[in-house]
Amino acid sequence: MLDGIKVLDFSRVLAGPFVTMILGDLGADIIKVEPPGGDETRQWAPFVDGESAYFMSTNRNKKSIVIDLRRDEGKEIVYKLVKTCDIVVENFRPGVVEKLGIDYNTLRKHKEDIIYCSVKGFGTKGPYVHKPAYDIILQAMSGLMATTGEEGRPPVRVSFALVDIFAGLFAVNSILAALYEREKTGKGKHIEVSLYDSIVFAMSYIPMIYLLSGQMPRRLGSGHPSIVPYQAFECADGKYIIVAAANDRFWQRLCDILGREDLKNDERFKTNPDRVRNRNILIPILEEIFRTRPRDEWTKLLEKAGVPYGPVYSLDEVFRDPYIVSSGIVGTIKHEKLGEIKQLLYPALFNGQRLPPKSPPPIMGRHAIEILKELGYSADEIQRLIKENIICCSD
């Protein structure tokens, strides 16, 4: 769908590479410009035959070239590249792109209608411009970690870098909107996406409840501030199951399979507002009941009764789940070093079809010669650039 769209990718680590991987999944051509030494995630464990699993999670569908942007000839390569591109993505610390000569104002002199997307931790204005923006810091400062975990226990970090992922998704949306606008106006755009803004926005009803009512969220573990019961319960075998009785009809069905007519008729638990108000009484009762049977027995009972539920899977169970097995979300692609490797594919279907990956995560600098030849560099010029360490090449 984005065939013919070309992206110059200066980003590294997660948020930016996630953006460009999605654009690549949608058909765009991605040129990943890495610094000498490469994207630092190439050095992040765990490794599979020397290749970082972390790096391979967000860098398929890209060509890699390593350019020393501190050198004038390195900058000249970039200026030639940008003339051939539609989109630039970067996630450097504020001020770095200006020092490297790859900021929006500089690059649009070489490509007037360029769409330039900057992904920043705390934006480029305000009191935190130079504050490090690691995901865990944003999870803490957004209020997210004040709502995770359980009362009286330490706050809990969500296990993956969801702040980067949310920011990446907002960046992709913004880039696609800018592309659409450019089709009508012929004009480019400078987009700035802040990780801090992104996670506060993505928390949706949690901050909105506070803004509208002044009510501070409680730390409810797996529970929900507005629905009861809607959380995980431990079963007899030590495994957990989620029960999501999101309305009174489901609550009544749940009481039936629990064999607890008394709970169904108890005025304290009649309606969802009643159950929310009296959760501290109800939840311990339900916890005791769920500990009487193993998880598989509860899943059969809940399924038969039509009560929304879900087992709390470990990852090995996720990839044995019949839906995941049949969905095609896990695909494979041939890596030049590792052979067939698994990849999590783009989650949307188009006309019932899942988008296959075009190319594997690249070996560092693998496409340098190819890219420079397309720009018109001669073989002798390329060899000189390699010899002088302006670029590096894996060949």
Burial class (CB in 10 A: 0-12, 13-18, 19+), 344: exposed
pLDDT digits (tens, 9 = 90+) for 202-237: 999 899 999 999 988 888 888 888 899 999 999 999
| Mean pLDDT computed over 339-364 | 93
Compute the average pLDDT of residues 327-355: 93
Indicate the pLDDT class of residue 394, thresholds 50, 70 and 90: confident
* Half-sphere exposure of residue 72: CA atoms within 13 angstroms, side-chain side: 0
Residue of 9, 29, 39, 164 marked catalytic: 164
Q: What is the pLDDT of residue 395?
A: 58
Residues ≥6 apart with Cβ < 8 Å to 67: 33, 34, 35, 74, 77, 78, 390, 391
- Stated pTM of the model: 0.90
Mean pLDDT value of segment 353-360: 92
Render pLDDT for 276-323 as a digit per residue (tens, 0 to 9). 999 999 999 999 999 999 999 999 999 999 999 999 999 999 999 999
- Clarify whether 39 is annotated catalytic: no
Q: Are 62 and 10 in contact (CB under 8 A)?
A: no
pLDDT at 220: 84
Average confidence score pLDDT of the chain: 94
Mean pLDDT over residues 381-386, rounded?
Answer: 92
Cβ proximity of 34 and 114 under 8 Å: no
Q: What is the mean pLDDT of residues 181-191?
A: 96
Segment holding 62, helix H or strand E = strand 62-67
Query: Would the pLDDT of 151 be above 80?
Result: yes
Q: Which amino acid is at 338?
A: L
In the block, which residue shows the tokens 């801090």? 196
Give the model's pLDDT for residue 140. 94
Which residue in 325, 328, 234, 226 sits closest to 277, CA to CA?
226
pLDDT average, residue stretch 58-77: 95
Distance (Å, whole) CA 60 – CA 63: 9
Annotate 310-339 with DSSP letters as a single string: EE---HHHHTTSHHHHHH--EEEEEETTTE
Give φ, ψ of 85 to 5 degrees.
-110, 160
80 pLDDT exceeds 70?
yes
Q: 199-216: b or e for each residue (b if 16 or more CB lie within 10 Å)? A: bbebbeebbeeeeeeeee
Q: Of 106, 72, 86, 69, nearest to 27 (Cα)?
A: 86
* Residue 185: both structure tokens together: 């106006």
Q: Which domains does the chain have, with CATH numbers?
A: 6-202+358-392 (3.40.50.10540), 230-312 (3.30.1540.10)
Give the CA distances from residue 369 to residues 124, 366, 372, in Å, rounded to whole numbers and listed in that order.
35, 8, 5
The pLDDT value recorded for residue 280 is 94
> What whole-number percentage of the chain has pLDDT above 70?
100
pLDDT in tens, 91-136: 999 999 999 999 999 999 999 999 999 999 999 988 999 998 999 9
